[in-house]
């Protein structure tokens, strides 16, 4: 390793350390959430509901805290926004079988009825995750690392994004190969758009649009097969 390389990485150490600390706090919720969810299942009444909801609510807080620290610029770019939305729709549409099943009335009618609380929490989790993850992976990570490593921040951002999603089973994600490919493509595209345009709003919009599809499925399932008071 040359002296120049050593000097370079020493200079990047504070930014790298900050990002690692930020990632650790964000991922900590992925480790805590399953235990909290399991505990909620052993309780009754409002205590169970509150404990069940807490991971969905609390996981968003580290994203916000680090965004306040980093203060990434929220710039807008029409081309970037259009590309982000088009990418989000195309990537989710590639999963057309699951998309179709999610709106299949006959299939939904034989599934367990969906509680309103569960429907609301899932919808919140999906859109809060979209906003929080973009603020963090395209905002905070870019703000700290882009000045030092340039385009490589696209790779770092995507790797961190995908690894976090591998812990999403607690939130109901189906972690198969196709899912990993989709989120990798989505993250790479949004990170590239952010890098080329500097528009964090574009990345936010793309991810929100992507997550609108499962939110719509949750809403439709509740419409078709809601849990009614007094049912087992």
Over its length of 232 residues, how does the chain's per-residue pLDDT go in tens digits?
565 544 555 555 677 777 777 777 777 776 776 677 677 666 665 666 666 667 666 667 777 887 888 888 888 999 999 999 999 999 999 988 878 888 888 888 888 888 887 788 788 878 888 998 899 899 999 988 898 889 999 999 999 999 888 876 555 555 678 888 999 999 999 999 999 999 999 999 999 999 999 999 999 999 888 877 655 5
**d(C-alpha 206, C-alpha 72), whole Å:** 17
- What is this structure's pTM? 0.83
Whether 189 contacts 84, CB under 8 Å: yes
Identify the pLDDT of residue 89. Answer: 95
Whether 146 contacts 153, CB under 8 Å: yes
User: Residues in the chain, how many?
Assistant: 232
Identify the pLDDT of residue 159. Answer: 93
Whether 123 contacts 218, CB under 8 Å: yes
Identify the pLDDT of residue 32. Answer: 73
In angstroms, the Cα distances linking 151 to 126, 155, 182, 216 are 28, 8, 21, 35
Q: Which backbone phi and psi does 212 adopt, to 5 degrees?
A: -65, -30
20: which 2 tokens?
Answer: 């690692």
**d(C-alpha 177, C-alpha 186), whole Å:** 14
Whether 194 contacts 138, CB under 8 Å: yes
**d(C-alpha 120, C-alpha 52), whole Å:** 12
- Between 177-197 and 152-165, two packed helices, what is the crossing angle to 10 degrees? 150
Which DSSP category does 171 fall into?
G
Identify the pLDDT of residue 5. Answer: 47
**d(C-alpha 227, C-alpha 232), whole Å:** 9
39: which 2 tokens?
Answer: 């505990």
Helix (H, G, I), strand (E, B) or coil at 72: coil
Q: Which backbone phi and psi does 197 adopt, to 5 degrees?
A: -105, -20
Return the H-helix or E-strand segment holding 168: none
Torsion, CA 160, CA 162, CA 166, CA 172, rounded to 10: 120
């Amino acid at each position: 390793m040359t002296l120049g390389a050593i000097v370079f990485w020493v200079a990047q150490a504070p930014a790298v350390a900050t990002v690692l600390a930020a990632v650790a706090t964000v991922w900590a919720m992925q480790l805590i959430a399953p235990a909290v969810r399991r505990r909620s299942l052993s309780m009754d009444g409002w205590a169970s509901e509150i404990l069940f909801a807490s991971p969905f609510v609390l996981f968003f807080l580290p994203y916000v805290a680090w965004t306040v620290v980093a203060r990434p610029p929220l710039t807008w770019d029409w081309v970037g926004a259009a590309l982000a939305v088009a990418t989000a729709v195309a990537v989710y549409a590639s999963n057309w079988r699951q998309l179709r099943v999610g709106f299949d009335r006959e299939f939904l009618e034989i599934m367990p009825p969906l509680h309103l609380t569960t429907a609301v929490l899932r919808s919140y989790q999906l859109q809060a995750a979209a906003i929080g993850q973009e603020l963090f992976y395209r905002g905070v990570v870019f703000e700290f690392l882009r000045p030092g490593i340039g385009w490589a921040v696209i790779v770092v951002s995507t790797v961190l994004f995908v690894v976090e999603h591998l812990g999403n089973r607690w939130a109901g994600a189906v972690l198969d190969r196709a899912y990993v490919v989709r989120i990798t493509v989505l993250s790479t595209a949004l990170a590239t758009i952010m890098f080329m345009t500097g528009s964090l709003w574009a990345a936010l919009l793309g991810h929100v649009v992507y997550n609108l599809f499962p939110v719509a499925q949750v809403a439709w399932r509740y419409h078709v097969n809601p849990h009614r008071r007094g049912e087992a």
